[in-house]
Structure 1
């Protein structure tokens, strides 16, 4: 029987990556009720957000505020509600993750 240690170590590395942790944070904060990584739901796909704001040096601050306070008009008529359950640090973490999904 082959050792399972390499499989366990590889699985632990995947689970502990920042991307997985940030996906988990997005789930915990109910972001995925309206967004998905690769397809439009109620709101835009995170990959589309990353593409739209690629190269925009003000994107992180703009989007962090939008996560917390909400907004409207950028992606169509459906507004994004405010998310008071998301702290400023959590919003920044989520936005950095979303912007990395290009």
Structure 2
């Protein structure tokens, strides 16, 4: 999984754990995978929603991470 993430460029914006910072010490660009798991871990519909977001991107107008990350859309 980690090799695939590196090959696909995922780690450019997403860390595995939430301890990282983004460029210039700002908030990270995208949420860490562990933070995503905590947020959506108990949601039975999360898998389908997250796969859709990864494949199609997300809307900057409906950010689920507003105020927590510096990126506005995937």
TM-score (structure 1 length as normaliser)? 0.54
Structure with more helix by fraction? 1
- Structure 2 unaligned blocks of 5 or more: 21-27
Residue 66 of structure 1 is matched in structure 2 by 53
Residue 23 of structure 2 is matched in structure 1 by none
Following TM superposition, by how much is the alpha carbon of 1:79 offset from its aligned partner in structure 2, in angstroms? Answer: 0.8
- Structure 1 unaligned blocks of 5 or more: 1-21, 81-102
TM-score (structure 2 length as normaliser)? 0.73
- Structure number, greater radius of gyration: 1
Count residues in correspondence.
Answer: 59
Poorly superposed stretches of 4+, deviation over 4 Å: none
**Structural RMSD (CA):** 1.3
